[in-house]
Amino acid sequence: MRKLKMIACAQATTVMMMMLFLAGVAPALAAEKPAIDGEKLFRKNCSVCHGDNGDGQSRARRGLLTKPRDFTKADPTKLTRDQMINSITYGIPKTPMVRWKERFSQEQIGTIVDFIHENFMIKNNRVDLTWWGDARGTDMSLAFADGLKGNLVNGKRLYEQSCVACHGKKGDGEGPRAYFNKPKPRNFQHERSRNTLNRPRIFSSISMGLTGSVMPAWSKVLTNQQIADVGEYVFQTFIKGGDSDGDAPS
């Protein structure tokens, strides 16, 4: 009998110690989140196209019309963290690069970008990247520089004269010349455009053109005021209005 009481007492003590342990440890365990592994996400989802070494040399590339980006040759001063996050989030239309925003959180996308940056881009480019920083959303309320104010009427006229052939009357990148352009003209109505093209960026793209595309530097032809006029028309008509989604090249 005495032996049974001792066993019962020991069992009760053990149960109480376990309850105390769980009471103290369980909240801590619940509060801890597993670290997001950018490398693991890249290997599982991105390497099939971009390759294990981020150089685009994958088996899948042979069947792709638009070849995957070679991150080992990308200039980190031009391919910014924000641009990479936008590309993963919204995709690059008319290419095999799909949007991942439904599958990954912004935090997960950020870790993938940081893995690519640190392992493929930094090792091959000795530049100062102290500006790399964290992801920042695009401020769509920013005005043109130097106090410029765009005129919608003049902008519409200039757009129809010089831009429709490539970007299309609806700003959807389906102008009569679009078929012959590589990369394809930007679709201003696409979600990616609507989240990243503010007035300053539109002005810069029109003024200086886009390297590696047929988009010329219109500063050679138009004044800053005229560029602001076109930019305002694009911003008000397509970025803020019109039908959403569709395809939008980078």
Higher model confidence: residue 34 or residue 221?
A: 221
Please list, residue by residue across 5-37, b when 16 or more beta carbons sit within 10 angstroms of its beta carbon and e when fewer do: eeeeeeeeeeeeeeeeeeeeeeeeeeeeeeebe
**Predicted pLDDT at 181:** 86
Spatial contact of 48 and 102, defined as CB atoms under 8 Å apart: no
User: If we measure between CA atoms, which residue out of 101, 98, 86, 105 comes closest to residue 38?
Assistant: 105
Spatial contact of 193 and 239, defined as CB atoms under 8 Å apart: yes
pTM above 0.85, yes or no: no
User: If we measure between CA atoms, which residue out of 129, 132, 124, 47 comes closest to residue 84?
Assistant: 132
Q: CA-CA distances (angstroms) from residue 128 to 83, 122, 185?
A: 18, 10, 32
Q: In this predicted model, what pLDDT tens digit does every residue of 200-236 receive, in sequence order? A: 989 999 999 887 788 999 999 999 999 999 999 999 9
pLDDT at 97 over 80: yes
Sign, Cα dihedral of 203, 167, 235, 221: positive
Measured in residues, the chain has a length of: 250
The CATH architecture assigned to 145-239 reads Orthogonal Bundle (1.10)
- For residue 46, the 8-state DSSP code is T
**Predicted pLDDT at 137:** 64
Q: Which segments of 46-163 does DSSP mark as H helices, in order?
A: 47-50, 81-90, 106-116, 152-162
Say yes or no: domain 38-124 is CATH 1.10.760.10: yes
Instruction: Report which listed range, 65-79, 84-98, 153-167, is most confident.
Output: 153-167
